[in-house]
Structure 1
Amino acid sequence: RLLADQIDLLLISPERLANETFRENYLLPIAASIGLFVVDEAHCISDWGHDFRPDYRRIVRVIQALPRNIPIVATTATANDRVVCDVAAQIGAGVQVIRGPLTRTSLALQNIHLPSQAARLAWLAEQLPKLAGSGIIYALTKKDAEHIATWLQMHGILAAAYHSDIANEERVALEAQLLGNQLKALVATSSLGMGFDKPDLGFVIHFHRPGSVVHYYQQVGRAGRAITHAYGIMLSGDDDDEILDYFIKTAFPPDTHTAEVLAALELADHGLTIRDLEQRLNLRRSHITHVLKLLSVETPSPVSQQQGRWFLNPINYQPDQERIQRITQLRRTEQQRMRDYLHTHECLMRFLGHELDDPAVAECGRCANCIGAPLVPTDYTVAMAVRAAEFLQRLDQPIEPRKQWPGDALLAAHGWRGNLPAKLQAAEGRALCLWGDAGWGELVRQGKQRDGRFADELVQAAAGLILQRWRPSPMPTWVTCVPSQRHPRLVADFAQRLAQALGLPFLAVVQRIRPTASQKTMCNSYQQAHNLAGAFTIKQDSRLAGPLLLVDDIVDSRWTFTLLAALLREAGSGPVFPFALAQVLADDV
């Protein structure tokens, strides 16, 4: 239809525009007939923008390739002078900048510092029903969005989580429910952003402090667009800095990652797939794709992609370290300005307007600072906070069994390749918590990194989970553990105490027969599985036949559980139920 001139308006994502096949087969043939080329959310073009997206940089190349007589319009609601100048410079000469005031007269702002997640959950449960209309609660991570939504649902509040792991069709349905006021709140990451417009949105609440003023205003400005009064409430906690620091540190790949990818491509005359690179490099798949995406938008680019394979281009590429350091420092400055915003006594809207270089900045007369009193209560009941703390301690995580071996990683040592037979698979397991979370996670971290022994409270919590909430079927009749070569007593001691609490025998049947590198240093499935090849054996025992609980302290890739479950089943055991104190999520943003 596009080539037949049957479409008047084409909406396209920058990621689709980056697709070489689309550009060659569809965009170039119609280039001369384009009447207007519009770039929405144009701040994403700029390195200085609060949510720079690499694929947006390709838009500039497309613009430069279009006929010079095609008018170009770039729009954004949140850009300071630095971003405006950068976008204008990249688009080209002859750009006219038109700027309007940013102040939203219907928006009433307030900041509340509540140190713990339990306190913030308690506040939400008690205050959200009192707010008029429906709105958005923004969280920095996907797991927090899920937890907040679950907590609100438990208290009879119509809420749902929204993030990039949710299928597109479901996200569209969730947006429709919020638009129709069928939900009190959508608990979202920044995935709920571009293109969403609900004119009567009554409130935007931030569960964490955002990373920049621009980012904050982009989100809070969704409230009150066509109503006379709406709330923008920023909650802040003691965990904000740790999350935001992680985002800053991982925004650019380390030089070593880039060098390793380029070196591997240099040795491959016929190019490499992502899977090929995983087998050659000890890097996570997400890190490999991150490196390749950033390299592919450089001008000129040192890499190119053809039919799923990546090739090295004959150019002398050097990472722009000065630019990376400059942007990283800017992100830290932006983070500090959000700390300043949290504690400022001046008009909150004027603070935001000043940071955004709004020439029409003035006191709003509506925020908590202007009024001199809270717009909404800042307290919560102790009883609700206790319930929230108990909720956070019940956020156990499923450990899904793996069903396929990674390539030939275990072929030589075990003869395993391809699909993992059902009879060798682990059963679904459980992790008591997420590493470092607000429930048991911090206590797990202290036991592993500081005390060298896991607290008795963790034994009781694990036993309670197994007997009362999880209740695996068939119930295990014995317990064993993953032997650690670096901390030989840590896991074994915990597993023995857990077995005693469950009233089950502990059998040390898993034996390590060769040293391995730490699994946490292995960064993708192939390397993680290959690292374990031939490392364990199972000691025969007459009690082996029954179902068992296989205990470890931390689970990340699941390959240790997968391999040991297969070895145990081959040795004649019953179903293997993995259990870990904490699960590590590698890519949670």
Structure 2
Amino acid sequence: MSTSETTPTPRPDAADTAREASPNETATSATSTPASGDEATADTTRVPRLDEAQRRIADRVLTDLAGAGARLRADQETAVAALTVPGARALVVQATGWGKSAVYWVATALRRAAGAGPTLVVSPLLSLMGDQVAAAGRAGLVAETLHSGNVDEWGVVEARLRADEVDVLLVSPERLANPGFGRRVLSGLRGRLGLLVVDEAHSISDWGHDFRPDYRRVADTWRDLDPTCPVLATTATANARVTADIANQLGPATLVLRGPLARSSLQLAVVPHLDPLARYAWVVEHLRRLPGSGIVYALTVADAERLTEAITAELGPEAPVAAYTGRLPADERARLEQDLRDNRVKALVATSALGMGFDKPDLGFVVHVGPPPSPVSYYQQVGRAGRGIDHAVVVLLPAHGDEAVWEHFATSTLPDPRQVEAILAALREAAPEPLSVVAIEARTGIRRGRVELLTKQLAVDGCVDRVDAGWVVTDVPWHYDAAHYEGVLAQRRREADIMRDYIAGEECLMALLQRTLDDPDARACGRCSACLGRLPDGLSERPGPDLVLRIGARLRTRFHELPPRRMWPGAPYDRRGRIPAGEAAETGRVLIHADAPEWRGNLQRFAADEPDAELLGHAVRILADWRTSWPSRPEVVVAFDAEGHPRIVEALAAHLAEVGRLDRAALTVRSAEEVGADPADGDAGGAVEAAGWARRLLLASDDEARIRGRWVLLVVDASSTTWAPTVAASLLRSHGAAGVLPLLVHRRP
């Protein structure tokens, strides 16, 4: 069902176009940021003014972009004029919809008219590149992209670049790190780059809410290609500290243009005192009432998928939705984004993967099922709504347990010295041969995503280099800057405190966000739930209790697969490389995945090691479904208490043995102290954990006889890394088990 009949009508002054401004839209400060990071008023008299010929070009571009009569505002003209000077550096911090892209299209047109080379735009998302290519075309510019989704077009695009037939090249920051791209493309732009644009520039700063290490390569790229090339950095979400950090990276005398960040089209609200399952029900109950189409943000992939399932089961085609996460292929994400733009869905239920770069001027609402850990990140996400309409609804649904996710986000991008040293040691051992990310994972046991992050951070520090076949170590020593990272962590925790204040709602919500972004124009909006002292019309505080129960019951019927690990972690575990087929587990099942709200009470009982009749019944249902796909029916149940829940493991194993008429066996788990092992979290080194389990697990001779030649159902209480069931399955297979089917009670986040 299309939702277009309820979509708000866009204002004529839609987002990211330039127009004549009303007086209250021109309150823009121009500042230069000295090396100390303290902002001071800039001497804007040194910024040149556009001459008549340049103004005619600017007017033509803006007419093509926004229609007849569109003109640069004073603050936009300041930015454009500054970029006509070789070596200029400008940072524009302005609210979403201000017209930042208009600045770089006009500046590109002026630079090209003056005989300069093409503009290089470093942009964070493929979807944004598509939008920008279209916008550049409307502005009369020829734009191209090079990314993983258009490999077949690379040769043609690169030939057009060499022939100077391209005005704008858009790339991701990750592309800058690709050696082939450097040889084929960047080397051809050396000395002839007309303008460098860094979009979503807060990602340059690890004080920002979306730090991406590949962005740090931008400054190196600029200095290498042409230090006299003008540079424009843009963002809508940078407070004074992030702004100063970005400006310092760009260099001295950076022109900083900051404007007011209030969004008069947004009506902010917080719905307090919901538990995690009740807020699912709140979304289901309110979704059809919310204006137009929008985004429902979830903190985790699991939440996005569960909530999508709950909405679809209850509302079906009345309010079509789809889950949008970073796990989806790029082409699928692009298709879903277009579905939302075209109102073919009521909402995308998304993680933070849908954020920077998504542009739908008439987006009618944004709902957060759990707040992000940073008010700056929150402002960036809610800023997707109401860009080209007069009114959009923004709702936050906090719940107990969100703060555990905040803590994970606060620490997840900080380097762990033990992991870094393990990666460097693996690269030194392999030198001079490079190692791929997969090979590093196999040698260190550090999860692949973590390896990717840390190698990029090491590359920024110059300690490793990326070559065609992988990563190599350099002779630059690595130093862990503990004081810096402690400061970053402390700042992130202060931002979490601000989110607590936002949730409490004791002051204007918009003013609080503005102050967090160091907006001097912060003032009460008069329309948020804090200012009104109530929720906006049409919103209720609690969903119907029957709906909550119905959603919980439905979600408790779902299950998750447990994919087997394929590679051994390497030292200090004494094995590396692929796990032999004769020792690998089969694809297993998970009873409770992560912090599933439908199992909230059961998880509390699980933590207390209290057997749960409902959980026993769920296990039986999972086995009944599983039997249609397992290679062979299990013949014996093996209980494995990995994380201190012996009563639950025993109760489950006994119940399944009775229901399925299976034999019984058990693994002996020796204490870590007894064998000198210390199973650790996988992020601290999966090899350490795997080695610990290998030393701790034993199979008694009587139990060995019971499993020999038979299929085993391995019941494990909990794991976040899955090394416990992986090592246990290998042990059972090595003692003669024909196959191992792992059943994990709780896969912890």
Q: TM-score, normalising length from structure 2?
A: 0.69
Q: Is the 8 A contact 2:643 2:718 kept in 1?
A: no
Q: Distance in 1 between matches of 2:628 and 2:237?
A: 51
What are the superposed Cα offsets for residues 353-375 of structure 1, whole Å, 9 maximum, x if unpaired? 22222233333232223333311
Of 391, 396, 400, the residue aligned with 2:559 is 396
Of 263, 269, 289, the residue aligned with 2:452 is 289
Q: Is the 8 A contact 1:509 1:541 kept in 2?
A: no
Paired residue secondary structure (1:387): helix
Match in the other structure for 2:217: 58
Q: Is the 8 A contact 1:139 1:208 kept in 2?
A: yes
AA aligned to 1:383 is D
Aligned residue-pair number: 576
Could you tell me how far 1:251 is from its partner in structure 2? Answer: 2.5
Q: Is the 8 A contact 1:18 1:58 kept in 2?
A: yes
Does 2:595 match 1:460?
A: no
Unaligned runs of 5+ in 1: none
Of 437, 450, 458, the residue aligned with 2:596 is 437
User: 1:231-270 residue pairs with structure 2 within 5 A?
Assistant: 231-266=393-428, 269-270=431-432
AA aligned to 1:327 is V
Does 2:190 match 1:190?
A: no
Match in the other structure for 1:583: 747
What are the superposed Cα offsets for residues 373-397 of structure 1, whole Å, 9 maximum, x if unpaired? 3112222111111123324433421
Paired residue secondary structure (1:137): strand
Paired residue secondary structure (1:183): coil
Q: Distance in 1 between matches of 2:667 and 2:478?
A: 49
Unaligned runs of 5+ in 2: 1-158
Does 2:180 match 1:21?
A: yes
User: 1:90-105 residue pairs with structure 2 within 5 A?
Assistant: 90-105=249-264
Q: Distance in 2 between matches of 1:66 and 1:210?
A: 37
Q: Is the 8 A contact 2:310 2:555 kept in 1?
A: no
Q: Is the 8 A contact 1:516 1:532 kept in 2?
A: no
Q: Is the 8 A contact 1:476 1:547 kept in 2?
A: yes
Describe the shift of the 1:237–1:486 C-alpha distance in structure 2 as closer, same or farther (beyond 3 A): closer
Q: Is the 8 A contact 2:178 2:466 kept in 1?
A: no
Q: Distance in 2 between matches of 1:580 and 1:311?
A: 38
Paired residue secondary structure (2:372): coil
Of 122, 146, 156, the residue aligned with 2:305 is 146
Could you tell me how far 1:10 is from its partner in structure 2? Answer: 1.0
What are the superposed Cα offsets for residues 428-449 of structure 1, whole Å, 9 maximum, x if unpaired? 43111124432336645754x5
Q: Distance in 2 between matches of 1:334 and 1:233?
A: 19
Q: Distance in 2 between matches of 1:477 and 1:306?
A: 47
Match in the other structure for 1:308: 469
Q: Is the 8 A contact 2:180 2:468 kept in 1?
A: no
Does 2:298 match 1:130?
A: no
Does 2:513 match 1:352?
A: yes
Could you tell me how far 1:40 is from its partner in structure 2? Answer: 0.8
Paired residue secondary structure (2:169): coil
Does 2:237 match 1:83?
A: no
What are the superposed Cα offsets for residues 465-494 of structure 1, whole Å, 9 maximum, x if unpaired? 334x54546784644114458869546522
Q: Is the 8 A contact 1:350 1:363 kept in 2?
A: yes
Q: Is the 8 A contact 1:63 1:91 kept in 2?
A: no
Q: Is the 8 A contact 1:550 1:579 kept in 2?
A: yes
Superposition RMSD on alpha carbons, in Å?
A: 3.5
Paired residue secondary structure (1:295): helix
* Worse-matched range after superposition: 563-572 or 39-48: 563-572
Does 2:208 match 1:49?
A: yes
Describe the shift of the 1:357–1:577 C-alpha distance in structure 2 as closer, same or farther (beyond 3 A): same
Q: Is the 8 A contact 2:321 2:345 kept in 1?
A: yes
Q: Is the 8 A contact 1:555 1:584 kept in 2?
A: yes
Does 2:171 match 1:171?
A: no
What are the superposed Cα offsets for residues 298-353 of structure 1, whole Å, 9 maximum, x if unpaired? 2xx22223343544433344222221111111111111011111113332222222
* Worse-matched range after superposition: 21-30 or 180-189: 21-30
Q: Distance in 2 between matches of 1:330 and 1:28?
A: 39
Match in the other structure for 2:659: 502
Describe the shift of the 1:114–1:150 C-alpha distance in structure 2 as closer, same or farther (beyond 3 A): farther
Q: Is the 8 A contact 1:36 1:72 kept in 2?
A: yes
Q: TM-score, normalising length from structure 1?
A: 0.86
Could you tell me how far 1:583 is from its partner in structure 2? Answer: 1.9
Could you tell me how far 1:276 is from its partner in structure 2? Answer: 5.0
Q: Is the 8 A contact 1:481 1:550 kept in 2?
A: yes
AA aligned to 2:390 is T
Does 2:532 match 1:378?
A: no
Describe the shift of the 1:446–1:270 C-alpha distance in structure 2 as closer, same or farther (beyond 3 A): farther
* Worse-matched range after superposition: 221-230 or 385-394: 385-394
Q: Distance in 2 between matches of 1:45 and 1:582?
A: 37
Q: Is the 8 A contact 1:479 1:551 kept in 2?
A: no
Of 699, 718, 722, the residue aligned with 1:554 is 718
AA aligned to 1:208 is G
